[in-house]
Structure formats: structure tokens, C-alpha cells
Amino acid sequence: MTKTLLRGRVLSFRSEPAGPDDADAYLYIEDGALLVADGLIEGVGEFPTVAAQAPDAVLIDHRPHLLMPGFIDTHIHFPQVQVIASWGAQLLDWLNTYTFPEETRFADPDHARAMACAFYDQLTAHGTTTALAFCSVHRSSADAFFEEAERRNMAMIGGKVMMDRNAPEALLDTAQTGYDDSKALIDAWHGKGRARYAITPRFAITSTPEQLDMAGALVAEYPDCFVQTHLSENRDEIAFTKSLYPKARDYLDVYQNHGLLGPRTFLGHSIHLEPREIDALAETGAHPAFCPTSNLYLGSGLFDDAGLRDRGISNSIATDVGAGTSYSMLQTLNEAYKILQLQGQILHPLRAFHWITRGNAAALGMQDRIGTLEVGTDADIVVLDSRATGAMALRMERAETLAEELFVLQIMGDDRSIAETYVAGVAQSNVSQIRAPENAIPRLALA
Ligand code: GUN
Ligand code: FE
């Protein structure tokens, strides 16, 4: 069996940095190496020491770049790769005008398969190796999502959305078919290789109470599945939800009443929260998913990271493509920094890079497998070039500390800073990827 030795500057977090000076929170090795064998990290340390562990290993020299764990995105929509950058609407109009029509195309399994290839190409090009993703309502879209992840040996979590009202007919399941299809997908995929299933009622507006009952039944039957949905993203969405569920104490109560909250539950956005909802998040251990590029793009609002953290709530961070405007977790950190600035909060680069690696992994309960570079974990690795552009190289001439370098990546970095991405030890730039067919240059209408 061939072993691979990756040489570079190694950075991996052991815990969330308590502050800028918390050097115990991470491992940083200037002339470091990772020994990769059989998809796993077999050694990590100083280059000469790790090299001596496997003298026959194939050496890949990534100096002067940084070797970090692959990034983790905790909220993204696989059927929205062609919705990103759709102009001029806030949430409910955006869904009705652009998103729902686009998702109807995923009834065609060939389209879903082509888009799954394009989706994973984008994730790995941006350094993301694991994502928690929404598929379309169609069972075959989730099959395409998991089949392509399996082909690439990626640790992916996803589920078909359950939605039985307030959307075009072509996108509706029923309480019963939503349950049956989800169950069939769980049986087919959950725990198969690196795949995990997420029970996925889209949001309260598109599910009847009967459907949420069925989603709750699935959670009770499969307690080790994840749950994902949306919460309190937009004021009109909240008002509509309250009109549909008049007996609920608040928006979160709709999900709570149906047994959908627990430490494996991820709630996209969670912006406009009432005090009782915050109490319920703290009590149940559910995770808000902060989606900064999306929240700015749709004009949704400012996520109160510090307020929730002070209550012991563990927030994850995510792109929310296609309302999110970039697949890059670096660009996500850039916008997160600005959203927190507007509220007098601050995101230090050490905490930021912990968040998109070990932090999101810990929220998922998967830090034993992904999100660090510990020996024995999966070799999902990103190689970061902090001088990827002229502007970055110029700025880097004046950077003196690791934190300064990380901040340059946090603010200026994107896919150009991803020199390589390894999935289970395999360099993705070498994997022959079947890309979505390039369209001929289209004739564009003028309006
Ligand atoms: N709420 C319900 N569906 C969606 C979606 O697809 N994107 C976003 N941003 N919010 C939603
Ligand atoms: Fe979303």
C-alpha cells in the first residue's frame, strides 16, 4: 500500500481558542508533515520525524502552504447550484421566483446526477470536504447526491426535503410519501460508507402539521440521523409561519412540538429569535447555522453569535448556497466578520478557522473523524495558499504572525487560495471529474 507524505506548515485545532493568546488550543508546526495511508492520517508532526516513520512514502511538498483539515459547511442546498446570484428578492419572493422553479428540474435523475458532479467539484475547489445539504423533494435527487459522494469517498450528510404545501404542485410530496421516501433513503444510505442521512422538513411554511408529525416519527425511529430545517430567517416568513401554526408559542415551538429538536438538529439562520426560543435552543442542544453571505444577500438580518454563545448554544457556520453567494468558507468567514462588527462583536481568525473545521465537526458530533488532523482520523485535508493573489501577496509581506496570516485568508481568501484538497487521502485535482456539460454561449435576452 502506497503511503503519502505531505510536507507543509501544519495547523489543527484541539479546542476552541479561548482568546488570541490561547496557544494550547491548536497545533502549529512550521516544518510539519502528515503521513497518509488508506484514507487515514497515520502520522503528524515535525517533517524529519514523520518522514522517518515511512521512508518509502511518496513525498508531496506543499511548502510554504498551510495544511489544515478540510472545511465543513453545515447548511447548503445541492439543487441550487444554478440559483446562486438571482437578482432582487427577499426570502419568500426569492423562493417562489427562482428557487422552486429551479428545483422542479431535479425530477429528472440525469439532471440531478450532472448537478451532483458540479456540486462536489465546487465544494472541493473551495476546500470543503463535508457538507450538511438539502436535496430537492425528489427521492432520486438524494440518490444522486449520495451516489456521487460515494464515488468520491466524501463524508456527506443530506436528505430529501419534505414539503407538502405552499409550493408548486411539482415540488410537493405528501405526509405519507415524504415519510416513505425519507425512510427508504435512510435505509439505503445512512451509515453506508461515509454517508449520513438528515431528516429534512424544508421549513414550517411548506409542511402541514401532519407532515411534521411524520418527520417527528422518523426522528424517533432513527435517533442517530441528523435533522435540518430553517428557522426565523425573515420577518414575513415568521408572520406567515405564525398564521399557519396559530397555537404555537413561537416559530421554534412548531418544530419543538413535533419532536424535531435535539443535539443533532441544525436550524438554518435563527436570526430573529424570541427569548423563549433561545431558552429552548439552550435546553435541547440544537444548533443554529449562521449563514452570513445569505443573510446579507437576502437582506434577512444580523445573526447574534455572541448572544447565543453566551447562553451556551453551539452555533455552526455555513454558506447556504444558493441564497449564499459563495461556496467558500473563507468568504463566509469574511462576511461573518462584518456581520459581527455591525453588532460590536468580533471574530478572531483563530476562532474563525476553528469554527469552519473542528467547530463545525464538533457541532455535528463528528470531531473523532473529521475537522482535525489527529492521527487515526480521515485524511480530509486542505492546502491553503495565503499569497494566492497579487493583493494577498502584497499584504502578506507585512504579516508577522500566524493570526495575521489567517486573517488575510479569512478576509481575502476564496477558491484561489485552495492549492489542493484531499478527500480520504486522494488529491481532488487529480481525480478525473465529470463536470456538468458546458453550455454553448447562450443568447441572452436584454431585460
Ligand atoms: N427557507 C426555506 N427554504 C429555503 C431555501 O432554500 N433557502 C433559504 N435561504 N431559506 C429557505
Ligand atoms: Fe437554506
- Average pLDDT value for residue range 264-273: 98
Share in percent of the chain as helix, strand, coil (round to 5) = 40, 20, 40
The CATH number covering residue 99 comes to 3.20.20.140
The reply to whether 58 and 89 lie within a common domain is no
Question: What are the grid coordinates assigned to 4, written together?
Answer: 503519502
- pTM, full prediction: 0.97
Whole-number CA gyration radius for the chain:
21
| Domain presence at residue 439 | no
Closest residue by CA, ligand 1 atom 11: 230
Total domains in the chain come to: 2
Q: Quote the ligand 1 centre to 182 CA distance (angstroms).
A: 19
> Could you give the CA distance from residue 163 to residue 218 in angstroms, rounded to a whole number?
15
Q: Quote the ligand 2 centre to 390 CA distance (angstroms).
A: 34
The reply to whether 153 and 301 lie within a common domain is yes
Counting from 1 in the atom list of ligand 1, the atom nearest the Cα of 206 is 2
Give the mean pLDDT of the chain: 96
Can you tell me which residue has the cell 447548511? Answer: 75
Which whole-number Å values give the CA distances from 46 to 31, 43, 356, in the listed order? 6, 10, 25
The reply to whether 417 and 294 lie within a common domain is no
Q: Does the C-beta of 294 come closer than 6 Å to ligand 1? A: yes
Residue ending a domain, among 347, 364, 381, is 364
Ligand nearest to the CA of 133: 2
The reply to whether 279 and 177 lie within a common domain is yes
| Domain presence at residue 444 | no
- The separation between the first and the last C-alpha atoms of the chain, rounded to the nearest angstrom, is 58
The reply to whether 249 and 360 lie within a common domain is yes
Range(s) of the domain holding residue 159: 71-364
Residue ending a domain, among 364, 381, 399, is 364
Ligand nearest to the CA of 86: 1
User: Of 121, 136, 201, whose CA–CA distance to 418 is shortest?
Assistant: 121
Counting from 1 in the atom list of ligand 1, the atom nearest the Cα of 298 is 9
Q: Does the C-beta of 323 come closer than 6 Å to ligand 1? A: yes
| Domain presence at residue 435 | no
The reply to whether 211 and 348 lie within a common domain is yes
Query: Kind and range of the H or E element at 269?
Result: strand 265-269
Closest residue by CA, ligand 1 atom 8: 323
Residue 151's pLDDT band (cuts 50, 70, 90)? very high
The reply to whether 28 and 142 lie within a common domain is no
Determine contact, residues 313/281, Cβ cutoff 8 Å: yes
Q: What is the DSSP letter of 378?
A: B
The reply to whether 139 and 25 lie within a common domain is no
- Average pLDDT value for residue range 162-183: 98
Counting from 1 in the atom list of ligand 1, the atom nearest the Cα of 205 is 2
Ligand 1: residue of 74, 83, 90, 95 to mutate (most ligand atoms within 8 A of CB) is 95
pLDDT > 90 in the chain, percent: 96
Q: Quote the ligand 1 centre to 230 CA distance (angstroms).
A: 7
Which range scores top for mean pLDDT: 11-15, 436-440, 442-446?
11-15
DSSP letter for each residue of 198-235: EEEE--GGGS-HHHHHHHHHHHHH-TTSEEEEEES--H
pLDDT of residue 309: 98
Residue ending a domain, among 320, 339, 364, is 364
The reply to whether 132 and 202 lie within a common domain is yes
User: Of 140, 136, 217, whose CA–CA distance to 176 is shortest?
Assistant: 217
pLDDT > 70 in the chain, percent: 97
pLDDT at residue 436 above 50? no
Q: Does the C-beta of 414 come closer than 6 Å to ligand 1? A: no
| Domain presence at residue 309 | yes
Residue 430's pLDDT band (cuts 50, 70, 90)? confident
| Domain presence at residue 441 | no
> Could you give the CA distance from residue 261 to residue 43 in angstroms, rounded to a whole number?
38
The CATH number covering residue 419 comes to 2.30.40.10
The reply to whether 292 and 420 lie within a common domain is no
pLDDT of residue 433: 56
The reply to whether 38 and 114 lie within a common domain is no
Determine contact, residues 399/66, Cβ cutoff 8 Å: no
> Could you give the CA distance from residue 352 to residue 373 in angstroms, rounded to a whole number?
17
Counting from 1 in the atom list of ligand 1, the atom nearest the Cα of 99 is 6
Ligand nearest to the CA of 234: 1
- Average pLDDT value for residue range 288-316: 98
Sequence-separated (6 or more) residues with CB below 8 Å from residue 430: none
User: Of 429, 426, 319, 425, whose CA–CA distance to 373 is shortest?
Assistant: 425
Question: What are the grid coordinates assigned to 58, written together?
Answer: 511518496
Q: Does the C-beta of 103 come closer than 6 Å to ligand 1? A: no
Counting from 1 in the atom list of ligand 1, the atom nearest the Cα of 322 is 7
Ligand nearest to the CA of 296: 1
> Could you give the CA distance from residue 256 to residue 277 in angstroms, rounded to a whole number?
10
pLDDT at residue 445 above 80? no
The per-residue pLDDT for range 348-403, each reduced to its tens digit, is: 999 999 999 999 999 999 999 999 999 999 999 999 999 999 999 999 999 999 99
pLDDT of residue 441: 56
> Could you give the CA distance from residue 407 to residue 160 in angstroms, rounded to a whole number?
36
Determine contact, residues 297/324, Cβ cutoff 8 Å: yes
Q: Quote the ligand 1 centre to 3 CA distance (angstroms).
A: 43
Counting from 1 in the atom list of ligand 1, the atom nearest the Cα of 237 is 1
> Could you give the CA distance from residue 60 to residue 76 in angstroms, rounded to a whole number?
32
> Could you give the CA distance from residue 295 to residue 433 in angstroms, rounded to a whole number?
32
| Domain presence at residue 78 | yes
| Domain presence at residue 405 | yes
| Domain presence at residue 437 | no
Question: What are the grid coordinates assigned to 148, written together?
Answer: 456521487
Q: Does the C-beta of 232 come closer than 6 Å to ligand 1? A: no
Q: Does the C-beta of 203 come closer than 6 Å to ligand 1? A: yes
The reply to whether 325 and 352 lie within a common domain is yes
